[in-house]
Structure 1
């Protein structure tokens, strides 16, 4: 049996700055731009979303 500890989801966007503003300001989520230009968004419950250009 497989036991999962956490999961992540990822998707691309056309404008990373607009995505940062939308997810951070509009939705109020914690958004971190990492050194590779990818947004890391920790989700409630332990998951993570990554958003890349």
Structure 2
């Protein structure tokens, strides 16, 4: 069982690969963000067992 469990929402961050307006971008770099997820990831990188859970809406 994890030592720390976080809960909350995680967001998908989309960043265009080329400079310019978002409307003209065709390729994006995808990453994940959100305070809860970042804490769990940071703790796991430090060797602490961490878990995360959330809930999807309808």
* TM-score higher than 0.5: no
Q: Which has the larger radius of gyration?
A: 2
Higher strand share: 2
Name the TM-score, length of structure 2 as normaliser.
Answer: 0.29
